[in-house]
Structure 1
Amino acid sequence: MPFIETRTGTSLFYRDWGTGRPVLFLAAAGMDSIEARGVMADLVAHGLRAIALDRRGHGRSDDPGLGYDYDTLADDIADLIEHLSLHRLVVVGHSMGGGEIVRYLTRYGSDRIERIVLVAAALPLLLATADNPDGVPAEAADALRDSWRHHQDVWLRDNTDPYLGVGLPGCEVSQVARDRVQASISYDTSLQAILECNRAVVETDFRAELRAIDVPTLIIHGDADASIPLDFGGRRQAELIPGSELTVYENAPHGIYLTHGPRLTADLLAFLDKSQVEASEYAVLQRSSAGS
């Protein structure tokens, strides 16, 4: 099975399907590389290469007990990109995965990244501050993590339905899929990883980093997202990222891979086709300039 050893000595599992243009998927906190498998399989069927990483402490990767800050997680991604010699890469980040993309760009630049997709991303800042009064109070975030230490199963019972948009039009999800979400968080992810990833997600301020993004960016967000509300997440991201494109999914929750997988596939393919058109137009302009 494919594993890499990072610069910190942590062994990370990844999936690598297909042989075409590479698309890397980064999952939500608590979820692993299985999260995007349906969309990944669709992309492979269209001649693309789909790659997904189990974040440290998640899935089949090592559980080192530390390194859940965005800097270290971005370094893990950089090690994977280097290991696979990836170029012209499209990176798709769901929830926490969106922050990992942004921090990677901040630390390593965009030489290897052609474009990015933020799916229900946990950005730009979730914590309540003087200039972000609508955020989560620090006391509430601390209390939530305290409850997870011994009663995470109760929280999962109460929050799986909102995560999957139960009762919303077009959000029918099987019991098997529901069980998989709960099992991933309860059994396939280190509790220490969940606690520290949540701390990073809530407390990290990405506002300045979003303004510095210099690659084409597609933002996909549901208007029924109970975890990261659209006005607090996707709309603010679109205001901060230069030239970004926001696509809103009506009645879509946070667990968008499970409820809107085919539409997500279609939008990713359209975004990739747009880059091909832009590249062709650029080549025409270059030839025209050379001949003048």
Structure 2
Amino acid sequence: MSYIHAGQSANGQPVNLYYQDWGPGNAHSTVVLIHGWPLSHEMFEYQMTELPKHDIRCVAYDRRGFGKSSKPWEGYDYDTLADDLKALLDGLDLQDVTLVGFSMGGGEIARYMSRHRGARVRSVVFIGAVTPVMLKSDSHADGIERGVFDEMIEGIKKDRADFLHGFGRNFFGVNFISHPVSDSALQYYQMLAMLASPKATIECVRSFSETDFRQDLTTISVPALVIHGDADQIVPFEISGQRTHQAIPNAQIVVYEGAPHGLFFTHKEKLTNDLAAFIQANATASGQSYGIVGRSSQ
């Protein structure tokens, strides 16, 4: 098993990040995949399998507290998580990478780009990302009420497995009319979520809901692509994807019509093709951005 050392916890124990590194050894491009809450790097199974066929090296890791990575008691703020990402890029000596962040992972990209000045990064992709800011406040009147996140935390504390079961259905847009994923897939992703530390699961709700990335996004100068589903019930497009696109200079955007939050599975072929096209277009020294703008259906 492969790990990168990312420092120590408050009690002196090592914090190690588990990662997978797949693809041709002479790949022309490298992508680093940052998973969403409350899953692990395995959520990118399809992308990790298909992108190497496009001559793209894929590195995906488990956030601290999730999957096979260390599960310290603390360190779930975005400054620390961005430092963990830097430890991975430095430890593997990755250069000119494309960072792809899904949901909570988009926050890691935004904070990394401002905190570490975009070191080693060629381009970025935000998929269903929590940026710019989720929580309603005096300066963000269109955000989500704090009580929604408080209820999430209470549900996790009361019965984490049952909470994740219901959350997963909303995550993938499952209802009486639509069932875009199988029951087996729902069970699999719930299993991945249950492997996380309960403490990390709770602390990250506070982090992704309360952190304001508006200033971070303005520091991004590399080519950027925003992908979001317009039927996302977890991270609504109007307060997230749309505004992330507006906040990043010269960012490109594509909206998947009818796609739920979990579009990495429900729209996996299209997402993988869009990622491959964007990464390849920016693999040249000129850094030409990929002109994918507008709406698309599967």
- Letter of the 1:265 partner, please give it: T
Alignment equivalent of 1:264, drawn from 271, 280, 283 = 271
* Mapped partners of 1:190, 1:147: distance in 2: 15
Q: Which moved more, 1:89-98 or 1:41-50?
A: 41-50
Query: Is residue 90–residue 114 contact of structure 1 (8 Å, CA) maintained in 2?
Result: yes
* Mapped partners of 1:51, 1:38: distance in 2: 13
* Mapped partners of 2:245, 2:287: distance in 1: 26
1:122: which partner in 2? 130
Alignment equivalent of 1:191, drawn from 171, 175, 198 = 198
- Letter of the 1:279 partner, please give it: S
Change (3 A) 1:115 1:280: closer
Query: Is residue 169–residue 251 contact of structure 1 (8 Å, CA) maintained in 2?
Result: no
1:249: which partner in 2? 256
Change (3 A) 1:253 1:47: same
Please list the CA deviations of residues 16-39 of structure 1 after superposition, one character each: whole Å capped at 9, or x if unmatched. 001212100000011111011211
1:182: which partner in 2? 190
Change (3 A) 1:140 1:250: closer
Specify which structure has the higher proportion of helix: 1
**Alignment of 1:80 onto 2:88:** yes
1:5: which partner in 2? 5
Deviation (angstroms), 1:246: 0.9
- Letter of the 2:3 partner, please give it: F
**Alignment of 1:153 onto 2:161:** yes
* Mapped partners of 1:240, 1:179: distance in 2: 36
Change (3 A) 1:162 1:141: closer
TM-score by length of 2: 0.89
TM-score by length of 1: 0.91
Q: Which moved more, 1:161-170 or 1:212-221?
A: 161-170
* Mapped partners of 1:161, 1:141: distance in 2: 17
Name structure 2 gaps, 5 residues minimum. Answer: 9-13, 289-298
Secondary structure at 2:220's aligned position in 1?
A: coil
* Mapped partners of 2:113, 2:287: distance in 1: 25
Bigger CA radius of gyration: 1
Query: Is residue 168–residue 251 contact of structure 1 (8 Å, CA) maintained in 2?
Result: no
1:103: which partner in 2? 111
Query: Is residue 40–residue 193 contact of structure 2 (8 Å, CA) maintained in 1?
Result: no
Secondary structure at 2:237's aligned position in 1?
A: coil
* Mapped partners of 1:147, 1:123: distance in 2: 24
Query: Is residue 4–residue 11 contact of structure 1 (8 Å, CA) maintained in 2?
Result: yes
**Alignment of 1:172 onto 2:180:** yes
Sequence identity (%): 36
What is the aligned length? 281
* Mapped partners of 2:287, 2:87: distance in 1: 31
Please list the CA deviations of residues 60-93 of structure 1 after superposition, one character each: whole Å capped at 9, or x if unmatched. 1111111000011111110110111000100100
Please list the CA deviations of residues 192-231 of structure 1 after superposition, one character each: whole Å capped at 9, or x if unmatched. 0010111000100011111121111100000000001111
- Letter of the 1:195 partner, please give it: I
Alignment equivalent of 1:32, drawn from 20, 36, 40 = 40
- Letter of the 1:262 partner, please give it: E
* Mapped partners of 1:280, 1:55: distance in 2: 29
**Alignment of 1:43 onto 2:48:** no
Deviation (angstroms), 1:169: 9.6
1:222: which partner in 2? 229
2:216: which partner in 1? 209
1:17: which partner in 2? 22
Name structure 1 gaps, 5 residues minimum. Answer: 282-292
1:144: which partner in 2? 152
Query: Is residue 125–residue 226 contact of structure 2 (8 Å, CA) maintained in 1?
Result: yes
* Mapped partners of 1:3, 1:153: distance in 2: 28
Deviation (angstroms), 1:161: 2.0
**Alignment of 1:59 onto 2:67:** yes
- Letter of the 2:157 partner, please give it: R
* Mapped partners of 1:60, 1:184: distance in 2: 10
* Mapped partners of 2:140, 2:95: distance in 1: 36
1:112: which partner in 2? 120
* Mapped partners of 2:16, 2:168: distance in 1: 30
